[in-house]
Amino acid sequence: MQEQIIRDLEQALEGQLNFQEIDELLEKPKYDHLGDVAFPCFSLAKKLRKSPQIIAAEVAGKLQKKLYKDVQPVGGYINIYYKQENEINRILNRILNEQKNYGSKHAVNANVVIDFSSPNIAKPFSMGHLRSTVIGNALANLAEKNGFQAIRINHLGDWGTQFGKLIVAYKLWGDREAIASSPIEELLKIYVKFHEEAEKQPELNDLARQAFKGLEETDEEATELWKWFREVSLAEFTKVYEQLGISFDSYHGEAFYNDKMEPAIQELKEKGLLVESDGAYVVEVEDMPPCLITKKDGATLYATRDLAAAMYRWQEYEPAKFLYVVGNEQSLHFNQLFAVIQKMGYGWSERLMHVPFGMVLKDGKKMSTRKGKVVLLTDVLSETIEMAKKNIELKNPTLEEKEKIAEYVGVGAVIFNDLKNHRMNDIEFSIEQMLNFEGETGPYIQYTFARISSLLYRAQYRPGYMEFASLGEAAWPAILLLDEFPKTVEEAYDQADPSLVAKYALRLARAYNKYYAKIKVLADDEAKQQRLAFSCCVAIVLEEALRLLGMKAPKNM
């Protein structure tokens, strides 16, 4: 319906604004009595040399009122009221027909490469890794909903000078049996010890650099240790991904690109882009510090490996977009990388996009692995699942499959607590906030879905085409929200902002719960099947919104 309004306004304005400009100006009135959609005329005042009030009156008079219940010019706004009976039938029957495909776009023959999660080998999967993991997974789901083929890449941090530190630490203080028994915990312990000792003995850093250089030169002992660290770490990470319901198409980490960096460096040389700087080699980029490609000792850096990775991914997938879901502290790195690829003459540099996000803070400070100030994601998930179990035992002790549903609810609480925030905002870690199962939480939406599922089950409802002649005014706010879902899905992908879906799901759940509080859905009258069909539509969209966020929707809670 909004598209029809935009076309009508475009015609009434006689080309003064185009489709996109009108779309950006349209507003949802704060109060229902002010219409279903409003168009402000203030930006046209200077162009048309008329007051907004006069423009509103003139344009409102040109609109085809037969398509709308009413069109009213009020104080520089045009308030438009839909013909509810037409819209209700159109919206709800479309959802009943399309089911989970509602809001999906037709498949396009194009890939979207999404680089996300990417934890460092031999370090714990902490709350600090949560943001990239759940934001990236949601963006992959949104890309697929918008018709693309999502290529999920876990660019593991399995290379770099930190492995030199870990090798030195292992040789000095490592216990193979202890590490085999509790790999991540023990590896973190000796990694933290290295940094503590290096403050007193700076020469340890020199030993670490030498150890990493040996690893780059395929020293047998160093390589064997590295493979072991990687293997035990991946086994631990896999447990977390399974709990979160996340999978990847590629686990190619930094080490995978070792033999691909030299060709990239040679290409930079051949194109005259590599410049010597105090023994190191850099590429100069505009309005930024030079991008360091190799150090004085010839060692490579993140930029070298990311350059090789980007070139490999282009050859392998030819994606329409490359998304790098990495914290905002790496913005300079990605700006430099993209600029280098552009200077190399690759047009696909325009398809590269850094998707930055804020940090998870603890007591207002960044969590630091090297200082041991870290909260393990597995511990947080265990605690939220345990709390969900206690709530189930208290409120619904006879519930079947309690263990599975507690996991859905506990894990969902953690995911939603992250994704309801705009990704650029920092999040203060608070276990109490995550475990609050009221208000703006994932469990609130899951419970709304479960409530509707219970109603539909009790009534033995079977979806099918319906004439919604007497559904009632109380359902209208939720129906308007149902109509917004396809556009929300599109905008969330275009803006790389899953919080739009999370906030949408909250609004829809609230709107339905207000309806439920006013109306007896199972009352045995002529409108009962219409109420059930409407409720079914809400359940379909809530379940799909939760799926896009990476959450499960239990039918019982």
Is the pLDDT reported for residue 160 higher than 60?
yes
Is the pLDDT reported for residue 370 higher than 60?
no
Is the pLDDT reported for residue 437 higher than 70?
no
Domain 2-82 CATH assignment equals 3.90.660.10: no
Is the pLDDT reported for residue 3 higher than 90?
no
What pLDDT does residue 409 have? 94
Stretch among 62-71, 192-201, 366-375 having the lowest mean pLDDT: 366-375
What pLDDT does residue 161 have? 82
For 223, other C-beta atoms within 10 Å of its C-beta total: 14
What pLDDT does residue 126 have? 84
Give the residue, 114 or 181, on which the prediction is more confident.
114
What pLDDT does residue 447 have? 94
Give the residue, 440 or 139, on which the prediction is more confident.
139
Is the pLDDT reported for residue 429 higher than 90?
no
Is the pLDDT reported for residue 365 higher than 80?
no
Q: State mean pLDDT over 429-437.
A: 69
What pLDDT does residue 368 have? 56
User: What are the pLDDT digits (tens) for 99-145?
Assistant: 999 999 999 999 999 999 999 888 888 888 999 999 999 999 999 99
51 touches 45 (CB < 8 A)? yes
What value, to the nearest 5°, has the Cα angle with vertex 149 and ends 144 and 155? 100
The CATH number of 377-549 is 1.10.730.10
Q: Which residues contact 399 (CB under 8 A, 6 or more apart)?
A: 392, 405, 556, 557
Give the residue, 232 or 504, on which the prediction is more confident.
504
Amino acid identity for residue 97 in this structure: N
What value, to the nearest 5°, has the Cα angle with vertex 330 and ends 202 and 188? 45
pLDDT band for position 65 (cuts 50, 70, 90)? low
What value, to the nearest 5°, has the Cα angle with vertex 13 and ends 11 and 18? 75
pLDDT band for position 90 (cuts 50, 70, 90)? very high
What pLDDT does residue 326 have? 96
Q: Which residues contact 182 (CB under 8 A, 6 or more apart)?
A: none
What pLDDT does residue 183 have? 87
Distance of CA 271 to the CA centre of its chain: 37
Provide the residue ranges of all domains of the chain, joining segments of one domain with +.
2-82, 377-549
102 touches 486 (CB < 8 A)? yes
User: What are the pLDDT digits (tens) for 469-520?
Assistant: 888 889 999 999 999 999 999 999 999 999 999 999 999 999 999 999 999 9
What pLDDT does residue 373 have? 61
Handedness of CA 176, 181, 186, 188 (dihedral sign): positive
Beta strand 149-153 pairing with 274-277: unpaired
For 335, other C-beta atoms within 10 Å of its C-beta total: 15
Q: 87-91, 294-298, 342-346 — which one is most confidently predicted on average?
A: 342-346
